[in-house]
Amino acid sequence: MRIILLGPAGSGKGTQADLIMETFGFPKISTGDLLRQAVQQGTELGKKVSEVMKVGNLVEDEIVLKLVEERIQLPDCRQGYVLDGFPRNLNQALLLEKMVKESQEIVFEIEATEEEILKRLAGRRVCLQCQAVYNINNDNNKTDNSYRCNNCGSKLVIREDDKPEVIRERYKIYIRNIKPLIDYYAGKGVLFQIDGQKPVEEVFRAIKSIIEKKLSNYSVSSGRR
């Protein structure tokens, strides 16, 4: 089972990927997290992508594809995985298609307006050590006054690309690339559009019920019951 989460910055892809992981046990593969880790660790890759990410541009397709390829070969991905932030354009989707063999695929497009995103990302705080995400405004994942990560105790920070002008640029890039991607997955009959403006739990309820239905169809058709 391959689950793909599409949506603009701040639509809640990472938040929903974490919930899918907790509920169904499919590991989350976030290309953004993998790239930020490389930047944080100062690796050659990190040095190469740091400036591109800072201004909100997309990293080269071949770089992200390699990251995904290495990650999905690990044993924990055998039953399935969630792709958060990949693919981001049609070329990445076609490269992914060539690389993977599994036939079960669900694609969620999580929709949210630019206005909502700007509001949410102004309040986002992240832990660069364990990648946990918080928000100073929402009840969900609210930070306490210490601004420390509940998981690992590290200091929470504002992402470098969460400046309003960079958020706007990321949104523009998303809009530029998304149409062919949506058409492609709609054509394959695997696309589900989700209203990402609703509260986190409601968004997840919609996603969960679709995954459960797919999993149960799969068990029946493959005689796994």
CA dist., res. 164 & res. 122, Å (int): 8
- 81-84 β-sheet, strand order: 28-30, 81-84, 2-6, 105-111, 191-195
- Which CB sits closer to ligand AP5, 194 or 211? 194
- Which CB sits closer to ligand AP5, 203 or 211? 203
Residue 187 burial (C-beta neighbours within 10 Å; 0-12, 13-18, 19+): exposed
Binding mask of the shown chain, residues 144 to 173, with x at each position contacting ligand AP5 by CB under 6 A: -----------------x--------x---
CA dist., res. 106 & res. 11, Å (int): 18
CB of 29 to ligand AP5, least distance (A): 10
Peptide bond preceding 27 in cis form (omega within 30 of 0): no
CB of 65 to ligand AP5, least distance (A): 8
Q: Which of 39, 56, 93, 107 binds ligand AP5 (CB under 6 A)?
A: 56
Q: Given 2, 13, 36, 71, which residue is catalytic? A: 13
Examine residue 85 and tell whether it contacts ligand AP5 (CB under 6 A). Answer: yes
List the one residue out of 36, 39, 32 whose CA is nearest residue 17.
32
Examine residue 13 and tell whether it contacts ligand AP5 (CB under 6 A). Answer: yes
Beta strands in 38-150 (DSSP E): 81-84, 105-111, 124-126, 133-135
- Which CB sits closer to ligand AP5, 23 or 216? 23
Query: What is the helix (H) or strand (E) element at residue 55, kind and residue range?
Result: none
Q: Which of 95, 124, 131, 211 binds ligand AP5 (CB under 6 A)?
A: 124
- DSSP result, 32-49: HHHHHHHHHHT-HHHHHH
Task: Using CB under 6 A, list all residues that contact ligand AP5.
Answer: 7, 9-15, 30-32, 35, 52-53, 56-59, 64, 85-86, 88, 92, 120, 124, 133, 135, 138, 140-141, 161, 170, 196, 199-200, 203
Active site residues: 13, 88, 124, 159, 170
